[in-house]
Structure 1
C-alpha cells in the first residue's frame, strides 16, 4: 500500500476518481496504484505527481521517501 500517496491525496481533499480524471486514467487503475497492486509508468507517475503536487521520483523510491546514500569522494 502506498500510504504516502493516499495521504497526499486526502490532504488535497481529492477523491480517487477526481485524481484519476485529472490524470487521464481510470479510477480503478489509480486505486490499484494507490493500493500498490499496480505500478505507474513514467508518464502516469508524472501526471499523478503533477495533479497532486509532488515529485514523480517518489513513485520510484522505497515507501515514497527519497533515501540519501553517502557518496565516496575520490581524492
Structure 2
C-alpha cells in the first residue's frame, strides 16, 4: 500500500466537503483523517470499510491500487 497515493485518492474523494464533516461522519478525529489524507498513516481495516461505504466505493478501489 502506497500511503501517498491513498492520501491523494482520499483528498480527491473528499472534494469540497470539510474535514470536520467527513471525520464526524466516519467517527474518527479530524487529525486522523488528516494523517490518512497526507499519507502519514494507513487506516485500520475497520476504518477502511467505513471510508469506502461513506464514499460509495469499494475498499479495493481506494486502498489497493
Shorter-chain TM-score category? 0.7 to 0.9
Larger radius of gyration: 1
Structural RMSD (CA): 1.2
Larger RCO (CA under 8 A, 6+ residues apart): 2
Q: Normalising by structure 2, report the TM-score.
A: 0.79
Give ranges in structure 1 of 5+ residues lacking alignment.
Answer: 66-75
- Specify which structure has the higher proportion of helix: 2
The correspondence for 2:18, drawn from 15, 20, 30, is: 15
- The runs of 4+ residues in structure 1 deviating greater than 3 Å are none
Give ranges in structure 2 of 5+ residues lacking alignment.
Answer: none
Q: Normalising by structure 1, report the TM-score.
A: 0.70
